[in-house]
Amino acid sequence: MEVQMKKKRGLRFYLSIYKKILIQDLKSKMSYRADFVISTFGMVLTNISGFITFMILFHNFPSVNGWDYHHMLFLYGFSLIALTPVQCFFDNNWNLRFMVRSGDFIKYCFRPINVFFYFISEVFDVKGLGQFAFGLGTFIYAWNKIGIPVTVVNIAEAVLFLLTASLFMIALMNLAAATCFWIINSGYVMVIMFRFKDFAKYPASIFSGVFRFIFTFLIPIAFVAYYPSLVFVTPDHVPLLSWLSPFIGIAFFYVSYKFWMLGVRRYDFTGS
């Protein structure tokens, strides 16, 4: 019986559950269509403003530490795509501290499914799709201008490195959100960590040694775009960290997940 229950809790089970939760969430969002259109339009405008900033920057400076306009644009598009999953699928982390403080989080502890999955899957931020579309367009445009060969291997590597690169920002937000189980006013931790995403669109090589170390090993924002993008923009001189980024990303996400669940156990045991 126990073995059968474990089988039912496999990937297919969770995908079916997620599909049902997603449909209900989208139905509730589409009932406020004006809000959906305005928020999506706002996201697109935000990304356009970032694009304009790049144009202004490179109108005055032909290159930044050896990175020209199209290479920087490639990095920018890469970062937007890599940041989309945290925007779309993990946006409910922003609500975690409120639910913990109010006590409403306790309802997730009584469901016969993984608490992390249940909580995160309740919210899907549709406007993140606007960011993805803009990022994908920028990425393809820069890819073409740089002259990266369009091969099955390159496309497969792009998908792999984009997916695993996103794990770094997801992990950072998981860690920041989970601090609410120990810190009452943990909102500032979330805000600080989220703002670090702005550094992802810049090459880590432009920072001094201290900040490069911080953005690589302590707050690994450089892995969101810089290190994985080197596989494509400098194929003849790819550093080891670039090749290791998928494995590091998976390990970092796992650590953040365990930390998040550790907070859940503390919450459940204390009844806070």
Confidence of residue 164 (pLDDT cuts 50, 70, 90): very high
6 has pLDDT over 50: no
- Which string of b and e fits 247-265 if b means at least 16 CB within 10 Å? ebbeebbeebbebbeebbe
185 has pLDDT over 70: yes
Express as a percent the part of the chain with pLDDT over 90.
58
Q: What's the burial of 225, exposed, middle or buried (CB within 10 Å: 0-12/13-18/19+)?
A: buried
Q: How far is CA 178 from CA 9, 26, 217, 256, 260, in A?
A: 24, 26, 20, 9, 5
pLDDT for position 165: 96
Strand locations in 3-106 (E): 63-64, 67-68
The rounded distance, in Å, linking the Cα atoms of 252 and 250 is 5
pLDDT digits 0-9 by tens, 165-181: 999 999 999 999 999 99
57 has pLDDT over 80: no
Q: What is the 3-state secondary structure (H, E, C) of 157-210?
A: HHHHHHHHHHHHHHHHHHHHHHHHHCCCCCHHHHHHHHHHHHHHHCCHHHCCHH
34 has pLDDT over 80: no
41 has pLDDT over 90: no
Tokens for 242?
């670039």
27 has pLDDT over 80: no
Q: 37-51, 102-116, 172-186: which has the minimum mean pLDDT?
A: 37-51
Task: For 201, list phi and psi in degrees, rounded to 5.
Answer: -85, 5
Tokens for 141?
């445009």
Average pLDDT over residues 152-169: 96
Strand 63-64 relative to strand 67-68, pairing = antiparallel
Residue 228 and residue 222 in contact, taking contact as beta carbons nearer than 8 Å: no
Average pLDDT over residues 136-150: 95
Confidence of residue 1 (pLDDT cuts 50, 70, 90): very low
Q: What's the mean per-residue pLDDT of the chain?
A: 87
* C-beta neighbour count of 163 within 10 angstroms: 15
pLDDT for position 189: 94
pLDDT digits 0-9 by tens, 224-250: 999 999 999 999 999 999 999 999 999
The SS3 assignment for 68 reads strand
